[in-house]
Amino acid sequence: MTYYGQVERLQFQLDFFSEQNTKFTDNTTLQIINDGYNDGGLFETIVQSYPNLNIKAYEATTDVGFNNHGARNLLMLESETNWNMLMDIDVLLNKKLFANMMTAKLNKKMFYCFKVEFDHPDNPEDYDNLDIDPKKILKYQAHPNTWLITKPCFWTGGGYDIEFTGMRHGDAEFFLSLDKDTYDYELFHPDIKKTMAIHVRKPNRNRSYLNQATEHVKTLTRTVDFVKKRNEDKERKHKKRLVTFPWKRII
């Protein structure tokens, strides 16, 4: 997960994971990176207050702009496990998901996405009891950047392209870069009638370029123009520039 000043979301996630059974907490490592937000050491204090969790925490020592792509590359480079789950800090997972994950027979030639309900109202604590309404099935769709994926699969396209630093929407580029001839993808437990996760979509108001709607439009327009220009370059290769921002490990 990537953190940028979302204290409430960070604490909610760590509380959620710490409530899981010891089979999960003893066999799982949570990797979290502060993407350059200066909170006076609050991030470090929070992640150190959960001794029952195996946490590896990092900090970008320079704020280089929206950097979720480079942050994910760093976490995958530092990961010591084959299977890894990539998720945003504002995606809230169903508790039953972990029971399924711990017992599921995962195919190493697959990577998995998750059914997500978008734009759920506040009070997300009730999400475990939500049922999918067949009449509103379109609300539940694969989240574009929540993945259960192996390290070899992740790196088939060079990881995330950090030319998207400062811009959103690099997830589509990452997905397109994966080797679909070797790896296939599917929904994780598509037969489960409970929603697997909820995207609360709390906008990150700490990013200066998102403070004003007009600035967000400019950023989006810049991204679209950037992607269009790159797609028109038939000789372009996905750049394997893994991590170029300064960082340090906290715990």
Instruction: Pull the structure tokens for residue 214.
Output: 């007009």
Chain centroid, CA 105 distance in Å = 22
pLDDT tens digit at each of 251 positions of the chain: 999 988 988 998 999 899 888 888 898 999 999 999 999 999 999 999 999 999 999 999 999 888 888 999 999 999 999 999 999 888 877 777 777 777 788 899 988 887 766 544 444 444 444 444 434 433 445 677 888 999 999 998 889 887 777 776 678 778 877 888 888 888 776 554 444 444 444 444 444 433 333 444 455 556 666 666 666 666 656 566 689 899 999 99
C-alpha distances in Å from residue 119, one per residue of 25, 132, 139? 29, 14, 9
Give strand pairing partners of 60.
247
Distance between CA atoms of residues 195 and 163, nearest Å: 33
Angle formed at CA 213 by CA 162 and CA 139, multiple of 5 degrees: 75
The reported pTM is 0.79
Domains and CATH numbers, the chain: 2-249 (3.90.550.10)
